[in-house]
């Protein structure tokens, strides 16, 4: 089986070619991937635009990133808060430490919350596998929510595993609305979010289902990850900050700024 890192790097290479920056090498590509814009309100408050990152090879959003065209879009059960279980006729629940994640969507132009936007979130499981690709018998850890009046979307999921070559992360794709997401309209943003590494290490030490995640995390922290290796301010803005414990589960918070 092709490694998860190899498929991520293959997707990264495809994006490099599309951007016409192959001659820059990896360092130049990272800079291009992580270019951000600070939008300011009249009061001078800065809102750091969430950078575009690669979709990755396992989105199941109708794109053909891995050579397979798979889509969970249009399935009514996809719109849900708790994404730990399979849906639409598939069964099973992803094992792992619980994470209740609240992500606020805000405008880069005004810094105010954005209501009614749709956010699709997908991630690997504790073993580092992605449903529908590595595990074709399940479709867990995929879900979509519409933001409320405060710009919030909430997902109940698990702390993801850390596979070789990547820091722990989730993928996100934002749309103008749920209808736009399910009717083929282009997304507003495709990106990734990292995690508070100290808490991930605690999870991996305490929970057997995470396998080699702790060793992988030590080799590949976010500072070495192509998606998160920019300046610290940008990396922190692109991080889900965790509070809690492996025994009781975690709450996570993050902000996604849309242009």
Give residue-wise pLDDT tens across range 38-62.
333 334 455 899 999 999 999 999 9
Domain that holds residue 30: 4-258
Task: Name the strand (E) or helix (H) holding 104.
Answer: strand 98-107
Furthest CA-CA distance within the chain = 53
CB within 8 Å of 210: residues ≥ 6 apart: 96, 126, 127, 161, 162, 203, 204
Measured distance CA(83)–CA(95) in Å, rounded: 12
Measured distance CA(49)–CA(35) in Å, rounded: 9
Q: Are 58 and 65 in contact (CB under 8 A)?
A: yes
CB within 8 Å of 58: residues ≥ 6 apart: 7, 65, 66, 122, 124, 130, 132, 133, 134
Q: Are 254 and 240 in contact (CB under 8 A)?
A: yes
pLDDT over 90 percentage in the chain: 76
Looking at residue 100, its pLDDT comes to 98
- Give me the phi and psi of 32, to 5 degrees please: -70, -40
Question: What is the SS3 assignment for 6-51?
Answer: HHHHHHHHHHHHHHCCHHHHHHHHHHHHCCCCEEECCCCCEEECCC
Looking at residue 4, its pLDDT comes to 63
Give residue-wise pLDDT tens across range 97-117.
999 999 999 999 999 999 999
Measured distance CA(121)–CA(135) in Å, rounded: 17
pLDDT(16) > 50 = no
Measured distance CA(175)–CA(183) in Å, rounded: 11
3-state secondary structure of 226: coil
Looking at residue 175, its pLDDT comes to 98
> Total domain count for the chain?
1
List the CATH number of the domain containing 104: 2.60.130.10
Lowest mean pLDDT among 19-28, 126-135, 183-192, 236-245: 19-28
Measured distance CA(144)–CA(39) in Å, rounded: 27
- The alpha-helical segments, DSSP class H, found in 20-136 are 25-33
Mean pLDDT of 228-248: 96
């Amino acid at each position: 089986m092709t490694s998860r890192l190899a498929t991520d790097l293959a997707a990264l290479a495809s994006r490099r070619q599309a951007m016409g920056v192959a001659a820059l090498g990896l360092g130049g590509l990272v800079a291009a991937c992580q270019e951000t814009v600070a939008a300011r309100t009249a009061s001078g408050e800065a809102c750091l635009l969430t950078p575009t990152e690669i979709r990755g090879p396992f989105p199941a959003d109708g794109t053909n990133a891995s050579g397979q065209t798979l889509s969970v879009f249009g399935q009514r059960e996809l719109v849900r808060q708790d994404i730990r279980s399979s849906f639409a006729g598939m069964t099973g629940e992803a094992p792992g430490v619980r994470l209740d994640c609240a992500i606020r969507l805000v405008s880069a132009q005004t810094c105010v919350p954005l209501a009614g936007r749709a956010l699709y979130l997908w991630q690997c499981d504790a073993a580092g596998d992605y449903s529908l690709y590595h595990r074709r018998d399940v479709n867990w850890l995929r879900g979509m929510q519409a933001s409320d009046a405060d710009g919030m979307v909430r997902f109940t999921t698990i702390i993801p595993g850390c596979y070789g070559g990547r820091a722990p992360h989730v993928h996100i794709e934002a749309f103008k609305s749920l209808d736009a997401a399910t009717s083929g309209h282009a997304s507003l943003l495709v990106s990734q979010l990292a995690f508070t590494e100290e808490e991930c290490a605690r999870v991996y030490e305490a929970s057997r289902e995470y396998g080699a995640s702790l060793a992988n995390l030590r080799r590949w922290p976010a500072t070495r990850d192509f998606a998160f290796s920019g300046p610290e301010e940008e990396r922190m803005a692109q991080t889900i900050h965790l509070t809690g414990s492996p025994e009781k589960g975690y709450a996570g918070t993050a902000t996604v700024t849309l242009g």
